[in-house]
Structure 1
Amino acid sequence: MCSVYSQTTSHPFNPFQTCRQKPRKDEKFAYFCPNFNNPLTLQKPTRFYRATHIPAAVIAFALFCTALPAGIYGCRQQTSGNSVPNEQASGTTIYFNLNRFFNQEITRLENSKTGLQKTATLNQKAETKILKDVNWRKELAAFTASDINKPAWKGKYAADTTRQNGFTTVTYTATDIALRTRLVQLNFKDGSNNPVSVVITNQTNNFVYQTNENLHYQTGGGYNIKASQKVILMQPENFAIAATFVKP
């Protein structure tokens, strides 16, 4: 899936095509190729606008990834600590253990040979494919990369719990704006130890680029990713993936 910024050329939208890695000597404009197998990242730019004097290695760090906080629940009950209806939040982990949960999901999806109907959209141009042989670890990499259980982040997320209509929602909100993962929201059915949905918001801001990433995982249903990226001296990019699980 290539988006090319050039005064005279453009490449067709193809989210399933591998982008060429070596630029020609006369190429001057940057293009970014989202890695469809891993919606978290962009491959690093193979071309850059030499007149900007911005090192290609710096621009290469511009990751294209995504989740707006989904759902506003009433009857808010402010709690302290890690009020999570799951033992994963205790022991060696500080907050709910996203890595463990998604590793369990990966194993379940692999064992059940679940397929995937996947629609990728780049700047309002969409393409859909049905995948039977799915690399679930890559598909869910954007979610596992957003795990907030790091020793250095202890105490840097405020926990809030709400209960309504048989569901418990736990929200972790970053208290440090320098943290990439700004919000993790988990929705549990009462009596269950695993969330029925996970919502994540990631943001990155620096002098080279800005990214906003909105991720939503529905257990047993699929996932959605919406992302935007603005690199200095370039037009903004909008990228989305809508993926639905397909039973074998």
Structure 2
Amino acid sequence: MKTFKFIPFLTIAAVLLYSCNTSLSSQSTTTEFDIPQFFKEEVQKLQTLNPTVTKTVSNDKSSESKEIKISNWEKELAQFSTIDINKSGTEFLKESNGDTLIYSTPTDSKTKITVKVIFNQKLPVEISIYKKTQNLLFVNEETMNYNVGNSYILDKKQYVKGMGNNRYLIKGIIH
């Protein structure tokens, strides 16, 4: 007779556990724009097309430009793939403005990241990434821009305490 008193309790407990478990699993499957996957697909496309690139590499002291064929697009665009707004443990705020999505870390984050994705007819046409890391010893600022199939820019500024400033810029125009 005592076991029948526990059946409603067990039923309610099972329903509560199921509903908690369901909400957690549905929450973890929510994804935003997948930057690493996007660049994986771009790398495959560019490897197949094998376009010529006018590539300029410069730092504070010199600059050099060449017309080249990129043999390893994965390596060439690797910096873009390091930003993953779907990575667990990383919180991004999302803002939508017409055909533009902007993801940014909260203002109190140690690493400041802003990702801007511009769409045209629901396809991404431009991705801009700004990343700033700062601590007592150094400040790193990276600005990356990828204009789909047309160009890419990697601009990195670094200040290291006791060593000063350093900057390098890589710009590729895809033909």
Q: TM-score range by the shorter chain?
A: 0.7 to 0.9
Question: Which residues in structure 2 correspond to 1:118-197 (within 5 Å)?
Answer: 118-153=55-90, 156-163=91-98, 168-175=99-106, 177-180=108-111, 182-189=113-120, 191-192=121-122, 194-197=123-126
> Is 1:225–2:154 an aligned residue pair?
yes
C-alpha displacement of 1:113: 1.2
Larger radius of gyration: 2
Match of 1:215 in 2: 144
Q: Would you say how many aligned residue pairs link Structure 1 and Structure 2?
A: 149
Distance 1:177 1:215, change over 3 A: farther
- Normalized against structure 2, the TM-score is what? 0.78
User: Which of 105, 109, 116 does residue 53 from structure 2 map onto?
Assistant: 116
- Calculate the aligned-residue CA RMSD, in Å: 1.9
C-alpha displacement of 1:177: 3.8
Identity level (%): 27
Contact 2:110-2:134 at 8 Å conserved across structures:
no
- Structure 1 spans left out of the alignment, 5+ residues: 1-89
Larger helix proportion, structure 1 or 2? 2
Whole-Å separation in 2 of the counterparts to 1:182 and 1:107: 26
Where relative contact order (Cα < 8 A, 6+ residues apart) is larger, the structure is 1
- Structure 2 spans left out of the alignment, 5+ residues: 1-26
C-alpha displacement of 1:178: 3.1
1:96-140: CA deviation from partner (whole Å, max 9, x where unpaired): 100111111000000111232110110052011222142100111
Larger strand proportion, structure 1 or 2? 2
Contact 1:174-1:182 at 8 Å conserved across structures:
yes
Whole-Å separation in 2 of the counterparts to 1:234 and 1:133: 33
Structure 1 runs of 4+ aligned residues shifted over 6 Å read none
SS of 2:31's partner is: coil
